[in-house]
């Protein structure tokens, strides 16, 4: 009888606990965001809306196509024979470094960071990162194993160095900028954390038997749920941008690695 009485309460607690982990059920938009949406709905034509939907992905696709269009030499020929590989690496680091810098410029708008200076710091940070990667490759071997895990920490340091040069004095002179910057740094660290979670997960997945892959694949939704909740707690002053942050970081990254895992799994159960 006591179990019957307390069962509904337990059921309600479980529901509340589950809903508390679902970030899409616990957010809210500011009045400015709602007002902007209403104005956009009234004043924007359908042609403009469709153009944004279909044209927005094109720059990302173009960047990817340009990278893959550069032919690679045989890796067995060694590091010095693969000049195009290093061109591709520098181009890749240019893109991701500029995007990281732009994230700071956009997320901390009260601190000025001129675009020209951002481009220069991007080029230098990318060159330093690729130079370090080249040195490690000469010492260890080509191609460099786990190159992302090796190079990411110093790459972060290079970007942080230029941010310190640009903003160290201005932060002390601008009230509220320090808390914004800390929030963006936490968001940045969460993005980097995914680099250290998903690739090792994929590596372990490829070493398992089909039955082991099926069991291990159940960890992906858990990782996704945990990362979504971690991200939510970092973007304190960017609550209006929360859907974009979750979608373009967690959802796409998780979907990408699900597709990778499915390609390497012969099990129909794992696919389901």
What crossing angle do the helices spanning 177-207 and 210-217 adopt, rounded to 10°? 160
The token duo for 54 is: 């279909």
**DSSP states along 87-154:** HHHHHHHHHHHHHHHHHHHHH-TTS---HHHHHHHHHHHHHHHHHHHHHHHHHH-SSPTTHHHHHHHH
156-168 pLDDT tens trace: 999 999 999 988 8
pLDDT band of residue 145 (cuts 50, 70, 90) is confident
User: Looking at 3-12, 56-65, 76-85, 198-207, which range is the least confident one?
Assistant: 3-12
Q: Distance (Å, rounded) from C-alpha 197 to C-alpha 226?
A: 12
Measured CA to CA, the distance from residue 85 to residue 64 in angstroms comes to 14
pLDDT at position 227 over 50: yes
| 4 pLDDT more than 70 | no
Average pLDDT, the chain: 82
User: pLDDT value at position 88?
Assistant: 92
Sketch the domain layout of the chain as residue ranges: 70-174, 175-272
Among 27-31, 191-195, 202-206, 230-234, which is the least confidently predicted range? 27-31
pTM of the model: 0.76
- Output the pLDDT for position 271: 60
Q: Residue 30: which pLDDT band, with cuts at 50, 70 and 90? A: confident
In tens, the pLDDT along 75-125 reads 888 888 888 999 999 999 999 999 899 988 888 888 888 999 999 999 999
CA distance 270 to 123: 43
| pLDDT per residue as tens digits for the range 36-46 | 888 888 888 88
Give the model's confidence band at 127: pLDDT under 50 very low, under 70 low, under 90 confident, else very high: very high
Cα 230 to chain centroid, rounded: 13
Q: Which residues neighbour 71 within 8 Å (Cβ) at sequence distance 6 or greater?
A: 84
pLDDT for 269:
58
pLDDT band for 3, please (50, 70, 90 cuts). very low
For residues 5 and 159, what is the distance between their CA atoms, to the nearest angstrom?
58
Residue-level pLDDT at 85:
92
What whole-number distance in Å separates Cα of residue 64 and Cα of residue 44?
A: 30
User: Which span out of 111-120, 184-193, 241-250 was modeled with the highest average pLDDT?
Assistant: 111-120
Closest to 21 (Cα-Cα) out of 187, 193, 219, 228: 228
Average pLDDT for residues 10-32, to the nearest whole number? 70
Q: How far is CA 54 from CA 43, 50, 57, 255, 259, in A?
A: 20, 6, 7, 20, 23
Half-sphere exposure of 230 toward its Cβ, with a 13 Å CA cutoff? 17
């Amino acid at each position: 009888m006591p179990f019957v009485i307390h069962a509904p309460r337990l059921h309600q607690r479980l529901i509340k606990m589950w809903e508390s982990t679902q970030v899409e059920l616990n957010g809210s938009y500011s009045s400015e965001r709602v007002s902007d949406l209403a104005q956009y709905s009234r004043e924007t034509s359908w042609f403009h809306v469709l153009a944004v939907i279909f044209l927005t992905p094109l720059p990302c696709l173009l960047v990817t196509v340009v990278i893959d269009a550069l032919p690679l030499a045989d890796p067995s020929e060694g590091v010095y024979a693969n000049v195009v590989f290093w061109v591709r690496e520098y181009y890749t680091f240019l893109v991701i470094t500029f995007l990281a810098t732009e994230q700071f410029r956009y997320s901390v708008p009260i601190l000025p960071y001129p675009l020209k200076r951002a481009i220069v710091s991007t080029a230098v940070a990318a060159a330093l990162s690729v130079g370090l990667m080249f040195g490690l490759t000469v010492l260890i071997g080509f191609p460099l194993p786990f190159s992302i895990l090796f190079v990411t920490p110093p790459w972060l340091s290079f970007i942080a160095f230029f941010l310190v040069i640009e903003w160290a004095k201005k932060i002390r002179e601008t009230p509220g900028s320090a808390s914004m910057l800390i929030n963006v740094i936490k968001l940045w660290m969460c993005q980097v954390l995914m680099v250290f979670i998903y690739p090792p997960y994929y590596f372990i997945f490829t070493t398992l038997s089909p039955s082991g892959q099926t069991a291990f694949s159940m960890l992906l939704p858990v990782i996704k749920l945990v990362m979504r909740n971690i991200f939510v707690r970092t973007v304190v002053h960017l609550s209006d941008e929360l859907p974009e942050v979750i979608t373009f970081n967690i959802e796409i990254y998780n979907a990408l690695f699900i597709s990778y895992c499915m390609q390497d799994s012969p099990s129909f159960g794992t696919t389901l």
